[in-house]
Amino acid sequence: MTFVTLEYTLKFRNITNKDAEKVTLENKATIEQLLKYLKDKYGEEFEKEFTNPSGDKVSGTPLILLNGRALNFSGDLNIYIKNGDTITFTYAIVGG
C-alpha cells in the first residue's frame, strides 16, 4: 500500500472541491496510474486540464509537482510513487 497526499490549488481546487486529500494506492503505483485514477474520479473536467492546451502553452500550463519537483507530464510518467510522497496540482508561475 502506498499512502500519498494530493494537494490541489486554483482550478484544480475548483474541480475537486478540495484543498488536499490523502489517497491509498497499490504498491508500485506510478504517476500514470494516479492520473488515470483521478481522471476517473473527477471526470472530464480534470481530464481536460491535461489534454493539450492549444495556443497559450506556457501561461495556464498545469504543473504537477512530485515532492516539489515538476513532472514533465507530456513525457514518461512511469515514475514510481513512494509512501509519503506529496503530489501538488497547480499551474505555471506568473510573477515578478
Partner 1 sequence: MYGYAGYMLKVNLGTGKISKEPLNEDLIKGYIGGFGVSTRILYDSLAPMVDAYSPENIVVFATGPAQGTLIPGSGRGVFVTKSPLTKRIFNSNIGGYLSSELKYAGYDFLVITGKSQNPVYIAIDDGNVEIKDASKIWGKTTYETQTIIKEELGDKKFQVACIGPGGENLVKYSAIIHNFHAAGRGGIASVLGSKNLKAFAIRGDKSVEVPNTGEMINFYKEIAEKCAKHPSLPAYGTTVALGTINKMGCLGTRNWQTEVFEGAANIDGYTTIPKYKIRDIACAGCPMGCGKVQEIKEGKYEGALAKGPEYETLYALGSMVGVDDFDALVSAARLCDEYGLDTISTGVSIAWAMECFEKGILTKEETDSIDLKFGNRDALNEIIKRIAYKKGFMGDLLAKGVKEASEIIGCGSQYFAMHFKGLELAGHSPRGVKGWTLGYSVGWRGGSHHDGRVHDIDYPKTFEERALKFEDKPEIVYKTVHRVLIEESLITCRLFGGYYGPLEPNENNLKILKLTTGFNLTLEELWKIARRIRALIRCLEVRDGFNRKDDINAPPLRILNEPIPEGPSKGAYTKPSEFKFMVNKLYELMGWEKDTGKPKSQVLKELGLSEPKIRKN
State phi, psi for 85 to the nearest 5 degrees: -65, 155
Identify the CA nearest to 45 among candidates 73, 22, 14. Answer: 14
Q: Is 70 in the site for partner 1 (CB under 8 A)?
A: yes
Among 3, 28, 60, 84, indicate the residue that binds partner 1 (CB under 8 A): 60
In the list 2, 30, 33, 90, the residue contacting partner 1 (rule: CB under 8 A) is 90
Q: Does 69 sit near partner 1 (CB under 8 A)?
A: yes
* Contacts of the segment 54-60: beta carbons below 8 A, 24+ positions apart: 58/92, 59/92, 59/94, 60/91, 60/92
Site string for partner 1, 18-57 (x = CB under 8 A): -------------------------------------xxx
Rounded to whole angstroms, the Cα distance separating 23 from 94 reads 30
27 vs 51, beta carbon nearer partner 1? 51
- Footprint on this chain of partner 1 (rule: CB under 8 A): 9-11, 55-61, 63, 65, 67-72, 88, 90-96
